[in-house]
Homo-oligomer: A and B are copies of this chain.
Amino acid sequence: MNEKVMGIGMVCELTGLSERQIRYYEERQLISPDRTQGRTRKYSFEDVERIKEIQQKMNEGFNTFEIRQLAAKGRLTIKYSCT
């Protein structure tokens, strides 16, 4: 399920996070949603799982930079290719 189909509002519901948090993780290159012509972000279920795992790591004390490194080394459960 890596089709980018849902809006950020739905991702908020599924993850329990705020739009701000989700957009910030993108800024930190931990996720990379698609964009519609009108610039609105579209996420996949894989993105949702990835976001949940990011949040777990954050709770464990990692910062976004460290999580980025873990991801680069394949140390995360949810594999993901970030642009």
Contacts and interface: CB of A to CB of B under 8 A. Distances in A.
Main secondary structure of the interface of A (DSSP, over half): mixed
Interface residues of A, number: 11
Number of copies of this protein chain within its complex: 2
Interface stretch (A6-14, A49-57, A64-72, A74-82): A6-14
Contacts of A10: 5-6, 42
Interface string A1-30: 101011101100010000000000000000
Which 6 pairs across A and B sit closest by C-beta, in order of nearness? A5-B6, A5-B10, A6-B6, A7-B7, A5-B5, A1-B1
Interface of A: 1, 3, 5-7, 9-10, 14, 36, 42, 45
